Chain A
Amino acid sequence: MTLKEAAIVIDNLTKKFEDVTAVDGLSLTVEKGELFGLLGPNGAGKTTTINVLSGLLKPTTGSVSVGGYDVEKEPSEIKELIGVCPQDTAVFSYLTGRENIELFGNLHAMPKEKLKKKTDELLEKMSLVSDAKRRVGKYSGGMRRRINLIMALVHDPEIAFLDEPTVGMDPQSRRAVWDFIKELKKQSKTVILTTHYMEEAEELCDRVGIIDYGKLIALGAPEKLKAKFETKNLEEVFIQLTGRRIREEL
């Protein structure tokens, strides 16, 4: 299945949980092949937005389409197009790394040969070949996150939703994942990446949407935003807009 239209379109999306408004009137468009960053502090509504795009949550109001398919009316078509890397590592601890990846490849009905080839390729890129036959329960945190990412991409989706993929990683592992995500862009994949790391957004994203308390407060290419607000980095853009740092000191 391929994209009907080359876009993710979010139109005035609001998502409420009882008396909490997690996403408040969000509107944005992501073009095909774009690497779009959703930047904001914890609790800003990034993961909720991803969950709506993935079909896990229904919008309270507003409309969302992914690849031209409506998330409420055509969720099964969307699931054929997307790969989702959740914020928390969701892996089967008693399966090996390879088994976890192949399981999700099978859930996407990948042909056996293609699955094996893609699994080998991704394990190689993430430097997990030697650990592929060990149970994931024995992995370090960084290794688990890498497997978590591979499981989202093994079936070669057109659109990838990566929810804070580098949280808790050491700088070396983070760099490796950045290189991997850049390669996705070279393959013309559409990627929505959520992060609260400014440098990650600046390094990877074509455009960034800064979100706070469920609202989109800035949208544009990192360089253009920095130029507009006359700042050296996106952190300072956020401070100017909200008066707070993205990552408050505890």
Chain B
Amino acid sequence: MTREPATLFLIILFPVILTLAFGISFGAIGGTQSTTYQIGVINMDSAEPYQQWAQNFVGNLADTDILKIQDYSNNETAQADLIQGRVQAILLIPVDFGQSCNSFWNAPTDPSLWMNTTLQLYLDSGSMFATQAIPPIIEQVLAATVYGTQPISVPRPIQIGSPSLVQSSKLTAFDYMAPGIFAYAAIFLTMTVAQSFTTDRENGLLRRINTTPTTPSEFMTAQAISNMFTALIQVALVFAMAYLVGYRPSGDAASFALAFVIMSIFALCNVGFGLITATLAKSPGAATGIAFVFIMPQMFLGTFVGLALSPSAQAAGKFVPSYYVTDALTSLFLRGAPVSSPTILLDLSVVSICSVIALLLGILLFGKYGKT
């Protein structure tokens, strides 16, 4: 199987190219770089005597690592750039911004004396990350501007810890995708196993092997183990490529060991799906098509593709094994969760159960209906 060019491509080149392509597109080669967001600012409060507040606010925004400020003189131009994706957000500072800040400082404990105002924040609806990352950063900067970094003099029972700017996320989009890419690479094992078995059946090799003392269970076990090793090689290749493009996962040796265990078990699941496919398919060509019945749901609902799905689709993802693999790897490598955490153990359990069922079912069905 592994000398056939098409199979070699699927096993080795495809995951490598996939990782490289996504890593270059969404990550950073050679090291981590901060993600930055371009935000346009329209400062309507530029007149005396309170213009310093707005200037301080804009200055504080610029001092963050994550926001790049672009000044606009009017809202129409700014909105035009926002629609075209040239900026990820537009912040309109109203004319009474400084007056409002000043009213708070004059009477921080008496809201009746405050002059209320509203900052208008327009976000790029085409960017999932901008809509999630920018508002909390603006909130933090605003708080620092209004409250200052020094403790206010009026005692109160609740203190705000030294307001710190939101640590801009050093994670790139690729970092969020990487756990799903590991799962993605292993999913295609379904197709390679199905093609291999249908080809061997078509060539009379399975029949020939059946005339030897090697029992079907020995044969299937050998196939399962060899495919499991193939999956581990794929994972290692994907990890090596991801590392090359700047992926630096959290986690210790135990995390990596558990990740390999989960991927090995997940490989057995896909071997099972491959056997089921080979039972149904009458030819290698048909096997390729039918394999996508198992590949597509896992791919779209349970890997990095699932990041952008609707809540209902994400709920549907819980019915595919790859979802739990991605979730476990995300917990291990992104959140830095310990290997004994309940979520990871649950993910491992679900993947194991799915694998046992899929593999046993595949072996039973293929043994009964698929060998001839």
Contact = CB atoms under 8 A, between A and B. Distances in A.
B210 interface: yes
Contacts of A79: 211-213
Interface residues of B, number: 16
Task: Sort chain A's interface into a size bin.
Answer: 20 to 34
A167 to B, nearest CB: 14
Contact of A92 (B205, B207, B214, B372): B205
Contacts of B205: 90-92
Nearest to A99: B3
Contact of A94 (B3, B204, B207, B210): B3
A82 interface: yes
Interface in B192-211: 203-205, 207-211
Nearest to B1: A94
A90 B3 contact: no
A90 B213 contact: no
B48 interface: no
Contacts of A95: 3
B4 interface: yes
A168 B25 CA distance: 55
B208 A86 contact: yes
A93 B215 CA distance: 23
Given A90-B204, A90-B205, A94-B3, A55 B213 contact: no
A32 to B, nearest CB: 20
A55 B211 contact: yes
B212 A90 contact: no
Given A79-B213, A107-B214, A84 B4 contact: no
Nearest to B214: A107
A53 to B, nearest CB: 10
B211 A94 contact: no
A90 B372 CA distance: 14
Of listed B1, B3, B209, B372, residue having the most chain A CB within 10 A: B3
Given A80-B213, A107-B214, A90 B4 contact: no
Give the interface SS of chain A, mostly helix, strand, loop or mixed.
loop
A90 B214 contact: no
Contact of A90 (B1, B207, B215): B207
A91 B215 CA distance: 19
B204 A88 contact: yes
B4 A94 contact: yes
Interface string A77-108: 00110101010111111110000000010011
Contacts of B209: 107
Contacts of B204: 86, 88-90
Given A94-B3, A94-B4, A95-B3, A86 B212 contact: no
A54 B212 CA distance: 9
A56 B210 contact: yes
A109 B207 contact: no
A79 B215 CA distance: 10
A107 B219 CA distance: 9
B212 A108 contact: yes
A90 B210 contact: no
Contacts of A82: 211
Nearest to B219: A107
Contacts of A151: 208
A92 B202 CA distance: 12
A56 B214 CA distance: 14
B11 to A, nearest CB: 13
A84 B213 contact: no
A141 B4 CA distance: 20
20 contacts: A54-B211, A55-B210, A55-B211, A56-B210, A56-B372, A79-B211, A79-B213, A80-B213, A88-B203, A90-B203, A90-B204, A90-B208, A92-B205, A93-B203, A104-B212, A107-B209, A108-B212, A108-B213, A135-B3, A151-B208
Given A56-B210, A76-B215, 15 more contacts: A55-B211, A79-B211, A84-B208, A84-B211, A86-B208, A88-B203, A90-B204, A91-B203, A91-B205, A95-B3, A107-B209, A107-B214, A108-B212, A108-B213, A151-B208
